[in-house]
Amino acid sequence: LAPWIPVVGLEIHAQISSNSKLFSGSQVQFAAPPNSLVSFFDASLPGTLPVLNRRCVEAAVMTGLALNCHINKKSLFDRKHYFYADLPAGYQITQQRVPIAVNGSLSYSLCIDNKMSQMVTKTVRIKQIQLEQDSGKSLHDDTRSQTLVDLNRAGVGLMELVMEPDMCCGEEAAAAVRELQLILQTLGSSQAVMAEGQLRVDANVSVHHPGEPYGVRTEVKNINSIRFLAKAIDYEIQRQIQELGNGGTILNETRAFDSKLGCTIPMRDKEGKQDYRFMPEPNLPPLILYDAKSLPANMNHQQVINIDWIHERLPDLPSVKREKLVEQYGILPEHSFTLL
């Protein structure tokens, strides 16, 4: 029998480090009293309008540049409709058609056989980075059989990073997310603390035989720890291989990882894109960015974002810092990883 080839792709939501939300002046603060940081816009009161947060745009541009992306000088906002109790407007403002950054790459290092002295560098392609708002939080109170809604998080700025399906196991995905986390923290574009929900990972997993098209994929949602990410992916790969080996079929569904049981469990069938009824966001014009060449001479610099200006101010990324440690101090490459 031909061996199975696993295919793993990630979608990562990183909360942008910003004092206020993506489209409103509400403060962003972890563990604030419920519903204490909600503006009229966040609660979706009629007649309220979004105002784009400059800091969030700069953070997305900075992240895109650090991940070798092409920054789109013109990007568009869209509405993604779905009904959920903690989404007051009934839609999320995102970037579906033309996101802020596309076609990037992330290099990460992997230990062979858990030996730090044997490391191999791999690269995962980044399809796009888009700006979008977070939803609120539903708290399910089983004892009183009721659900409470906290809208503090509603409207918080997120960057969604969509990776191409270039990985093949949990260990690779974990190494890529760990490197991304370091990059975001170095840039200051996200604190990326997974325990506070600032970095949430969805993993798309499928298996197929060599020379055959990709198999049906499942999506494991909202994984909030790098260790659990590796476990969830490896479990899901084995589950699919076993299911197919027994003559079963894989459903295109959303699953959750139960960390206590160490397995994935079905949540719901995957919604088709048509259910989201994407449409252009009527209250936001296209987002226009400039570089040194296209910047108009009489433009107020406070009013625009200059991609080249951000590029010049990028700090040394983790990979560069490691190289410097090895070159300057002659330490072993594996020790540079530990130090960083």
Residue 58 confidence class, pLDDT cut points 50, 70, 90: very high
What local confidence, expressed as pLDDT, does residue 272 receive?
A: 54
Domain contains 293: yes
Domain contains 129: yes
Q: Average pLDDT of 275-292? A: 93
- Cβ 128 vs Cβ 162: under 8 Å: yes
- Cβ 244 vs Cβ 250: under 8 Å: yes
Residue-wise pLDDT tens digits, 114-155: 676 788 999 999 999 999 999 999 988 888 889 899 999 999
Strand, coil or helix: 314: coil
Give me the chain's average pLDDT, please: 93
Domain contains 97: yes
Instruction: Specify the higher pLDDT residue, 300 or 43.
Output: 43
Domain contains 223: no
Three-class DSSP labels, 81-108: ECCCCCCCCCEEEECCCCCCEEEEEEEE
Domain contains 104: yes
**What is the Cα–Cα distance from 142 to 290, expressed in whole angstroms?**
51
Bridge partners of 20?
27
Question: How many structural domains comprise the chain?
Answer: 1
- Cβ 111 vs Cβ 179: under 8 Å: no
Q: Average pLDDT of 14-23? A: 98
Q: Which domain holds residue 144?
A: 12-184+278-337
Residue-wise pLDDT tens digits, 78-99: 999 988 889 999 999 999 999 9
Instruction: Specify the higher pLDDT residue, 299 or 305.
Output: 305
**What is the Cα–Cα distance from 96 to 81, expressed in whole angstroms?**
12
Q: What is the per-residue DSSP string for 99-154?
A: -SEEEEEEEEEEEETTEEEEEEEEEEEEEEEEEEE---EEEEETTTTEEEEE-TTT
**What is the Cα–Cα distance from 240 to 206, expressed in whole angstroms?**
7
**Which residues, other chains included, contact 109 with Cβ-Cβ below 8 Å and sequence gap of 6+?**
119, 120, 121, 122, 175, 179, 337
Domain contains 215: no
Phi, psi of 101 (to 5 degrees): -145, 145
Domain contains 228: no
- pTM for the full predicted model: 0.94
**Which residues, other chains included, contact 291 with Cβ-Cβ below 8 Å and sequence gap of 6+?**
73, 306, 307, 308
Domain contains 91: yes
Residue-wise pLDDT tens digits, 238-283: 999 999 999 999 999 999 999 999 999 998 766 555 578 899 999 9
